[in-house]
Amino acid sequence: MENTNYSNVNKAKIILTSIITGIINILIVIAMPMLSADFVLGPWTNAIIIIVLLTVANTILWPIFTKILMRFFIITFGIGALLLNGLMFYGVAYYLPEVKIGIGGALIATLFINIATTLIFNIANIDFYNSYIIKKLSKKVKNKKRAANKHPGLIMLEIDGLAKEILDEAIKKGYMPTLKRWIENKTHTLKEWETDLSSQTGASQAGILHGNNKDIIAYRWVEKENNNKIIVSSNFSHAPLIEQKISDGNGLLSDKGASRANMFSGDSDDFIFTSSKIIELNKLYNKTWYSVFTTSNSFQRIFVLFLWDILKELKSQIVHKIKNIQPRMKRGIVYATLRAGGNVFLREVVTETLAGDILNGEINSAYATYVGYDEVAHHSGIRDNDVWSVLKEIDLEINRLENAESISKRPYEFVILSDHGQGNGATFKQRYGITLGNFVRRFLPEDMKSLRTDEESDHFRNSYIPKNESIENIREKMDNIKNHDIFEEYESLQNIKEKSIDFLKIDELYKSEQIQTLRKKYSDSLDYIRGYEASQHTTKKASDSELIVLGSGNLGLIYLTQWKHRLTYEEIISLFPDLIPGLVKHPGIGFILVNSLANGGMVIGKNGIYYLESDEIIGENPLADFGKNASKHLKRHNTFKNMPDILVNSFYDPESGDICAFEELIGSHGGLGGTQTKPFILYPSDWDCPDELVGAKSIYDLLKNGMKKLKEE
């Protein structure tokens, strides 16, 4: 790609800035005795000698040390490079006459020198990375010749969590000039796409990188049959197991592709900071890491930016509190450090390793994730001032990679995309003073274990804990009672009883005392939902309740873990008649999804029911505000393994765009409603693209076809 910005770099300005930086570094060394008791300089001329010797030592020795100690640098996450930098300063200063220095003083001196270098280049408006590091990398590979059979490659850069609507605003406000230039020059086309349910990185990256996200219910879920184990998509021990299930070997990166800072590998053998592969310690070392430690200052620069980002976040916390910006959540110093890790450390590692990949020209493709926007938007809000600076920095990273491509011997095309968007709003707990888990417990007995041992309760409650196999056999025989409401007559069930005497006696469910009482009062399920006055109980014995409630953004998952199978709608209202009416009538809940033994998936709102199998709507459509494809997403989701007994989606306000998370995040995603399901893709304009892109598999197909097109060139 042609990039005029890079070719117009003012070399004289760079030289002048470098001279000023050297002078400032000398002044820092002169001031060191006042900053550290572990440093005695002697004559001020020693400062000049130290800086000159340090420059020479870094030029000659750093490349040698890097080759020897690279593995040490990696396993210490760069701390080893900082220590080596300090030791080199200590080495050049120790033998000078009248200089007395300790390791602590040397480390402090190198820290201040790198802070000054980074600050001066920023003030001079010179991109140190563009002006120096990329040139250094290009010299390393300048003698490599492009193989005759190497077609153009593809670099795919994901901006985690960025909705197209927010991207449009960022471009309009001038925060993303690189992407704006591509669009205006018509080299790239910007398009919105629609995520699957759930709208989160686990499901989206599985679909984009492997073409398969089946059974990924949410960011986290429960495996009832596996001793109620909670699975977390990004967990380093769980992600490999998920990838084993979704991979067929034909992932997006299976043909000499590289994975950088992703959840899944796309079947790549070349990966850095990829959750599904990170425990493979024998593959932790990757020659591409050389790009991160190109010079003695390269990683130190990252460390300085890391510290600066912590200060920026702490300032933001103070500003939010003074201005009383709402909604607001508690953040603190721990979060500030985590934010800097994602927004700076991972960002810079991704860019520098990819720049090395591009200049080497060996990879056919790469997929990398910039996580900074998603992390900051979660905690500050999707349009907070904090996010615009993050997007500006990401745009600069993209420009740097464009610069690297412009001097690479092998051409590469770029695709920029996001895996999902985010919605904004105060959390469920902030709005209503209670978590979803504690709210659910209000509709359950104080000690659910009594349901197993109370021999005097109705027969259904005592006997019904069937095996999953029995449930599946029963469902196969349900054709003759499809669309049958439990509140209607049930004579047709007798056929099932006769054919499956060894299975669950369905008629016992219908004859249970609880169901008989409800049928006398309500004519159908909607009448029950609207009319039932749910009783709320105390929760002082909540810890004894066999219940797991998880939040995945504004998607809630309710598991009643006494039963190893997924409870049906009929079973839930028989066992816990307060639960479903109590949930759907809450103002923070938009709808719930349950599975009916007779009707399949039922989406229930406070004033209506959507039957997914028949597309029949009774009362008001509970999905009216959640998009035209909402029913399709929920119908597919309802077939997934390990679905919760009740899936809960928060409300969505079309006017304000607000949703409410069931975890403590201001910007959130995971369910349906608003911009969280509307990410973007910016792709080369000469590609053929369908009119509508729905689901992560559609992005996988588009990218695969794009790679095929590049191979044919």
pLDDT tens across 453-500, in order?
Answer: 233 333 223 223 333 333 344 344 334 434 456 555 544 433 433 443
Q: Is the pLDDT of residue 9 over 70?
A: no
> Quick one: pLDDT at residue 509?
63
The residue whose two tokens read 């230039």 is 181
As a whole number of angstroms, the distance between CA 691 and CA 693 comes to 7
> Quick one: pLDDT at residue 452?
29
Q: What residues contact 322, with CB distance under 8 A and at least 6 apart?
A: none
Higher local confidence (pLDDT), 577 or 154: 154
For 681-709, the pLDDT digits (tens) are 999 999 999 999 999 999 999 999 999 99
> Quick one: pLDDT at residue 445?
79
> Quick one: pLDDT at residue 674?
96
CA geometry: angle 536, 541, 547, nearest 5 deg: 80
> Quick one: pLDDT at residue 649?
98
> Quick one: pLDDT at residue 133?
56
Rounded average pLDDT over 37-63: 90
CA 696 to chain CA mean position, Å: 14
Q: Is the pLDDT of residue 281 over 80?
A: no
Q: What residues contact 280, with CB distance under 8 A and at least 6 apart?
A: none
Q: Is the pLDDT of residue 556 over 60?
A: yes
pTM of the model: 0.86
As a whole number of angstroms, the distance between CA 546 and CA 222 comes to 13
Q: Which of 438, 631, 637, 451 is nearest to 538 (CA)?
A: 438
Residue 533's pLDDT band, with cuts at 50, 70 and 90, is: confident
Distances (CA, A) of 651 to 44, 195, 363, 533: 68, 18, 45, 21
> Quick one: pLDDT at residue 117?
83
For 567, other C-beta atoms within 10 Å of its C-beta total 24
For 51-83, the pLDDT digits (tens) are 999 989 888 888 888 888 888 888 887 888 889
Residue type, 641: K
> Quick one: pLDDT at residue 127?
60
Rounded average pLDDT over 277-285: 76
Higher local confidence (pLDDT), 117 or 601: 601
Exposure pattern of 317-348 as b/e (b: 16+ CB <10 Å)?
A: beebeeeeeebbbebeeebbeebbbbbbbbbb
Burial class (CB in 10 A: 0-12, 13-18, 19+), 314: middle
For the chain, domains (ranges, CATH) are: 1-123 (no CATH), 152-211+246-422+672-710 (3.40.720.10), 426-462+494-664 (no CATH)
> Quick one: pLDDT at residue 539?
47
> Quick one: pLDDT at residue 376?
97
**3 state SS of 42:** coil
Backbone CA torsion sign across 64, 67, 72, 75: positive
Q: What residues contact 569, with CB distance under 8 A and at least 6 apart?
A: 486, 525, 580, 594, 595, 596, 597, 599, 602
> Quick one: pLDDT at residue 490?
44
* Cβ–Cβ under 8 Å, residues 51 and 25: yes
Residue 558's pLDDT band, with cuts at 50, 70 and 90, is: very high
**3 state SS of 132:** helix
As a whole number of angstroms, the distance between CA 60 and CA 544 comes to 66
Q: Which of 441, 440, 442, 460 is nearest to 451 (CA)?
A: 460
Rounded average pLDDT over 277-293: 78
Q: What residues contact 485, with CB distance under 8 A and at least 6 apart?
A: 524, 525, 598, 599
> Quick one: pLDDT at residue 144?
55
Ramachandran sector of residue 702 (left: φ over 0; alpha: ψ -120 to 50; beta: rest) = alpha
Rounded average pLDDT over 199-218: 97
Rounded average pLDDT over 337-352: 94
As a whole number of angstroms, the distance between CA 667 and CA 657 comes to 11
Q: Do the strands 412-417 and 153-159 form a parallel or antiparallel pair, or are they unpaired?
A: parallel
Mean per-residue pLDDT over the chain, rounded: 85
Q: Is the pLDDT of residue 507 over 80?
A: no
Backbone CA torsion sign across 122, 127, 132, 137: positive
Backbone CA torsion sign across 374, 231, 329, 554: positive
- Write out the H or E segment, with its range, that includes residue 580: helix 579-584
Proportion of the chain above pLDDT 90, given as a percent: 62
